[in-house]
Amino acid sequence: TTMVPPMFSESSANLMWNSMFSSMFDKQNPFYVNIALTDKCNAKCSHCSFYWEDWIFDKNKKCLREDDFVKLVWDLQDMWTSMIWFVWWEPLMFEWLEKVLSSIDHKKTSTLLFTNWFILEDKIEMLYKNNLTSIAISIDHYDLEKHEEIRWLKWLWEKILKSIEKAKKYDFTLAMSTYISYENIYDLPKYIETAKKIWFHEIILFPTFHSCRLSSKTIYKDEEIFEYIRKTIKIYNEKEDYPWIYWYTYVSSRESLWCQWWKKYLYISPYWDVWHCDFYKRYYWNIKEDSIKNIFYKSLEENKNLSS
């Protein structure tokens, strides 16, 4: 799975130690962190949680550079972070990606990169040489030609299939990241069939909720729909010849782990801002003003005070 380090790897041992230490001494450390490397992208997706007038994107702000990210990664690894995800906009357009990946101690931390795959084919060997663990592609429709229209990227579906064929030769875990809304909820089996057909190991599923430009198409906690998704996923997860489905809404619900922001998870934008997560519309700290270690531990204290 893309959600945890490979079993019996050194980074999984780091995760086990992190979990045991946190439990024994009641001291939290971040389990996984999302880092947005750049505010550049070659797609125009209506559902993007990064680009919105009063959301995260800000053309007047300057992005972190390669040395800033290298230091950030080292600080996170000192905090026993086991998973780092490189996310929005398009991480492959970050010009210092190779340097950042090569700076990671992969005995401590596994890495995943989210991409639209448009420019992936030429980057695969570089990603493999720098020990990237997993690659996730965002797919917005079970028909890849319609997905191309949504992304506003011509020839995208052909590039996706070519990149997957090349990625098969390397030891990546490949995931399809997709979302469902009221409009396509009952098409879920078609998305799963598409993931199987084009050779993904896993599906990361995001049923949408009220955020950004999807405000008119969002799914709140509708019990009937929630139960439909649960039953559908259970059917397919019991089939050995289908990709495993990781359902984000369920994992972050009361039925499972609950929301882990500022306990085991945080999000860092390309502008130095530290957010609870990339779906939350407010940030409180900036790593230009303080270190990520101090920010994380101060936030834990604030959460304890609020709880009490």
Per-residue pLDDT of the chain (308 residues; tens, 9 = 90+): 888 888 888 888 888 887 887 777 777 778 889 998 998 888 777 666 666 555 567 778 888 888 999 999 999 999 888 899 998 789 999 999 999 999 999 888 999 999 988 888 899 999 999 999 999 988 888 888 888 887 877 878 888 888 888 988 998 999 999 888 777 889 999 999 999 998 899 999 876 654 444 455 555 556 788 888 889 999 999 999 999 998 877 776 666 666 666 567 788 888 888 877 666 666 778 888 888 988 888 777 766 655 55
**Sequence-separated (6 or more) residues with CB below 8 Å from residue 170:** 124, 125, 128
d(C-alpha 248, C-alpha 276), whole Å: 16
pLDDT at 55: 59
pLDDT at 274: 86
- N-term to C-term CA, the chain: 36
Instruction: Pull the structure tokens for residue 112.
Output: 């995943």
Instruction: Pull the structure tokens for residue 95.
Output: 């010009």
Q: 188 vs 48, 192, 193, 213, 239, CA distance in Å?
A: 20, 6, 9, 21, 16
**DSSP letters of 169-218?**
TTT-EEEEEEEE-TTTGGGHHHHHHHHHHTT-SEEEEEE--S-GGGTTS-
Is 40:270 a contact under the CB 8 Å cutoff?
no
Question: What's this model's pTM, rounded to 2 decimal places?
Answer: 0.84
- Give the chain's largest Cα–Cα span: 55
pLDDT at 263: 67
